[in-house]
Structure 1
Amino acid sequence: MVAVDRSAGIPTDLVVAANVAGAAEGTEWLYGQGFKRVACITGPRHVTTARQRRAGWAEATHAHGPLNEDYLLWSDYHAAGGHAAMLRLLGLETPPDAAFVANNLMAMGAIGALRESGLQPPEFGLAVFGDLPFVPWERYAVHVVPLQAREIGAHAARLLLDRINGEVGSPRKIIIDSSGRPSDEHVDAGRAALVGQIESLAQPPPACSPRVRSQTGLLPD
């Protein structure tokens, strides 16, 4: 997500990835490969992108059967969190046979946990939102939903230049899908809703002791 400041440091325009659609795309790919029990490792519950990517996973999963909440883990968007989350999933009585991972760093941790457990893609299905530069995901047989960070930044720059050049009007929200295509929305809810959306990202994470964080990498429910 990129916010474009128009006045007094208040964000008015947004450029975002298609988080719900991208997560649904990655999850649906796993079902399309024949996997039946697709889990989700997403970021902190208080982060908008984590909730949206969880929603995309849930949307795709509902199309294939009931949602198993045991297969949903909220983590921390870091490699250690992905590692701990995957180990927890593999320890379930009926573990998943695939997982959608909501960011690239957690996916790297998840791959490490799979290898430690004697598994690896494509035996265990893995789809991830966003790639890492210089990391050959095909080596790990991982399906990547591109984040299109370059396009997000380019559209944010164009919005800012438009405002600098005197463009007025209601706040705009541009959503960039996994292919890099934009859709331009005028946000009817206005500035207050956009400010609230940005502020939600700045809220502190749920209380969690250093000992719990260091041992699990997971956030409490």
Structure 2
Amino acid sequence: MATLADIAREAGVSKATVSLALNGKPGVAPETRRRVLEIAKRLNYQPNAFAKGLALQRTQTIGVIVPDISSPFYAELVRGVEEAASAHGYYLILCTTTGKPSREKMYFRLLGEQRVDGVIVLTPRGDEEPIRQIQAEGFPLVVVDRDIQVTDDVVEVVVDNFHGALAAVQHLIGLGYRRIAFINGIPELQASQDRRRGYQVALQENGIDLRPEWVVEGEFTDAGGYRAMKRLLATDPPPEAVFAASDAMALGAIRAIREQGLRVPQDVAIVGFDDVPLAAQVDPPLTTVRQPIGEMGRTACRLLVQLIQGEPVLQRKVVLHTQLVVRQSCGGGDVEGRNRR
């Protein structure tokens, strides 16, 4: 689908001139207007609702597209966005895709019709074409925790997943564990790939062989972590420690371990990733990699407000750091003295 940028490139004018010509605004020479309209017709240009809203009065609203508001991770993320939005005088319109990428495209259209001033995308996957189109139209957009391939211009806020995972597995190795399994999330996501890479590099740097049967997937859910841990416990020998790529999966894994009559950390050590509020409250408290979840949301919103107000955003990709939070789910001391299975 053609964009303002496509028309501007062919007409040899700026996107602003194209917008003025298409909307019948003054300040465009008749010959230029005629040329722009002809090119738009030939390219079958269809202005989307976001582009139309650019010339209208601001609504002081921000659209937020999120996959699952019931998830502790996304609840904390949205809370961070809301805090920053409120501080800047904006209100949120929240759209939940329930994990269905097809719903994301629908919400882009609906938010455009509502004439929001900008959009924050929290979904980790989906069709990138609407994002490319909106970016090409110059509409304010920020993406969180998602690696966009179709364009380099999208403003992104991500965390350093690789070094977070590396620190988690190195911690287990430092405690003496050698049989270390990995419960990954959704393999095609960049965050999952970076966390798996951190796991692999930690093993390689310490001369530990990677066993394929000890790398399983848990879909970033409690139920997925439970099923994944069941599979790991059925291997021979089973792992003595597990790095789960999310706290939700780690909690599901703990449930599976206890159903087998085993103990955490005496029989199986667990490390998670996220540091959701529940991580510090479970028994035993979960060692995990803390993502600055709230700060991710606040940073995304501050960057979006800059875009809305026409201020330059010099850093298009903001990478936030993680922190290993050591609690009681890994144990410590002499691993050789633990129960062996």
Is the shorter-chain TM-score for this pair beyond 0.5, marking a shared fold?
yes
Decide whether the 8 Å contact of 1:3 with 1:156 is kept in 2.
no
In structure 1, stretches of 5+ residues that fail to align are: 181-221
Deviation of 1:102 after TM superposition, in Å, equals: 0.5
Matches within 5 A, 1:36-75: 36-64=178-206, 65-75=208-218
Matches within 5 A, 1:125-164: 125-137=269-281, 139-164=283-308
Matches within 5 A, 1:13-28: 13-28=155-170
- SS state at 1:127 partner: strand
Residues of 1 paired with 2:304 and 2:212: CA distance? 41
Q: C-alpha deviations, 1:73-115, integer Å up to 9, x for none?
A: 1221111110111111111111111010011111111000110
Residues of 2 paired with 1:99 and 1:145: CA distance? 13
1:107 is matched with 250
Q: C-alpha deviations, 1:113-157, integer Å up to 9, x for none?
A: 110112222221111001232453563253111111111112112
Identity of aligned residues (%): 31
**Deviating more after overlay: 9-18 vs 88-97:** 9-18
Aligned residue identity for 1:24: L
Aligned residue identity for 2:198: G
Residues of 1 paired with 2:245 and 2:252: CA distance? 12
CA root-mean-square deviation: 2.5
Deviation of 1:30 after TM superposition, in Å, equals: 0.9
Deviation of 1:56 after TM superposition, in Å, equals: 1.1
Aligned residue identity for 1:17: V
Residues of 2 paired with 1:143 and 1:131: CA distance? 8
The alignment's TM-score, normalised by the length of structure 1, stands at 0.73
Residues of 1 paired with 2:309 and 2:288: CA distance? 37
Decide whether the 8 Å contact of 2:280 with 2:286 is kept in 1.
no
C-alpha change, 1:133 and 1:166, in structure 2 (3 Å) is same
Of structures 1 and 2, the one scoring higher in RCO (CA 8 A, sep 6+) is 1
**Deviating more after overlay: 128-137 vs 64-73:** 128-137
The alignment's TM-score, normalised by the length of structure 2, stands at 0.48
Deviation of 1:161 after TM superposition, in Å, equals: 2.0
Higher strand share: 1
Residues of 1 paired with 2:227 and 2:282: CA distance? 23
Q: Which entry has the higher C-alpha Rg, 1 or 2? A: 2
Residues of 2 paired with 1:26 and 1:135: CA distance? 15
C-alpha change, 1:17 and 1:169, in structure 2 (3 Å) is closer
Deviation of 1:178 after TM superposition, in Å, equals: 1.5
In structure 2, stretches of 5+ residues that fail to align are: 1-76, 78-119, 123-133, 143-153, 325-341
Aligned residue identity for 2:248: L
How many residue pairs get aligned? The number is: 180
C-alpha change, 1:159 and 1:47, in structure 2 (3 Å) is same
**Deviating more after overlay: 67-76 vs 103-112:** 67-76
Aligned residue identity for 2:311: E
Decide whether the 8 Å contact of 2:141 with 2:155 is kept in 1.
no
Aligned residue identity for 2:272: V
Residues of 2 paired with 1:43 and 1:152: CA distance? 20
